[in-house]
């Protein structure tokens, strides 16, 4: 399941060797498994895809296609994975966490509708409301920064491999890239679950919005956080 010699970071965690590198299409099945296992912990997943257990084939198919779209737009997205190698457990360069950064917010992403009119695992109205809330929040909180920002699009770690620092390292990639670009601001929109991690990493809350359809009680809170550039040593 390896994706090529693009090693960016290496750390030993007990018997495990963790490596961060660029993702490739060879990783797509493993990436999809990470999303299937880890994304449902996020309230946004349950809100958008309440029928994923009824139509698991759709959740797999369209999740895989979504992340393939990111890989096909390297000018727009920086897509990294943290992999684990553990000879004792028979694991070899297996992706266990993914981080997708929007490195060109001024470029419109291709696709990006999550195949809303095709998939059976989603609630279309909820998906539309969530997308609209994300768009509003970005415009209100981050649009004024223009293109000199790096926006964390997605961060997911497989539940079996949490608390090993994979998510933190994928976030730190943005700090390194910000330094390379002369100190761009880092931005992210998160659920309350993700907010805790980002605040621990120095992000501050700058706005909040809610995805909700009409007068429904069901909703999802979306927090906007940002982190001004600061140098650090890895």
Instruction: Quote the tokens at residue 196.
Output: 């805790």
CA distance 74 to 1: 20
Give me the sign of the Cα torsion angle 140, 40, 82, 70.
negative
Instruction: Quote the tokens at residue 215.
Output: 């007068």
Length of the chain in residues, anyone? 234
Tell me which residue of 205, 207, 199 sits closest to 168, measured CA to CA.
199
CA distance 100 to 81: 9
What pLDDT was estimated at residue 232?
Answer: 46
Q: Where are the domains of the chain?
A: 7-227
What pLDDT was estimated at residue 9?
Answer: 67
- Who contacts 169 (Cβ-Cβ below 8 Å, separation ≥6)? 9, 11, 18, 20, 82
What pLDDT was estimated at residue 69?
Answer: 96
Instruction: Quote the tokens at residue 115.
Output: 């195949």
Cα–chain center distance at 183: 22
Taking domain 7-227, whether its CATH number is 3.30.70.890 is answered by no
What pLDDT was estimated at residue 98?
Answer: 98
Tokens 């990639």 belong to residue: 173
Q: Is 102 within 8 Å of 153 (Cβ atoms)?
A: yes
What pLDDT was estimated at residue 132?
Answer: 95
Instruction: Quote the tokens at residue 21.
Output: 């590198």
CA distance 179 to 177: 5
Mean pLDDT by 10 residues, the chain (234 residues): 48 84 97 95 93 97 96 98 92 96 95 86 96 96 96 96 93 95 96 88 96 95 89 42
Instruction: Quote the tokens at residue 86.
Output: 């553990």
């Amino acid at each position: 399941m390896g994706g090529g010699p693009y090693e960016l970071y290496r750390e030993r965690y007990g018997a495990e060797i963790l490596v961060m590198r660029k993702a490739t299409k060879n990783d797509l099945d493993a990436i999809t498994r990470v999303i299937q296992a880890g994304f449902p912990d996020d309230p946004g997943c349950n809100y958008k895809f309440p029928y994923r257990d009824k139509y698991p084939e759709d959740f797999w198919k369209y999740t895989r296609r979504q992340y393939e779209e990111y890989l096909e737009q390297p000018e727009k997205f920086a897509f990294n994975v943290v992999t684990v190698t553990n000879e004792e457990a028979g694991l070899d360069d297996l992706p266990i966490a993914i981080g997708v950064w929007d490195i060109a917010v001024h470029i419109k992403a291709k696709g990006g509708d999550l195949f809303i009119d095709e998939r059976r695992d989603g609630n279309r109205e909820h998906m539309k409301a969530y997308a609209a809330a994300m768009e509003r929040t970005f415009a209100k909180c981050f649009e004024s920064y223009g293109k000199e920002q790096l926006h964390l699009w997605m961060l997911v770690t497989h539940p079996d491999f949490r608390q090993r620092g994979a998510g933190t390292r994928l976030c730190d990639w943005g700090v390194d890239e910000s330094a390379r670009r002369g100190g761009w601001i880092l931005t992210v929109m998160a659920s309350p679950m993700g907010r805790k991690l980002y605040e621990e990493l120095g992000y501050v809350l700058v706005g909040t919005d809610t995805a909700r359809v009409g007068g429904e009680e069901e909703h999802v809170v979306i927090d906007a956080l940002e982190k001004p550039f600061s140098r650090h040593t890895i």
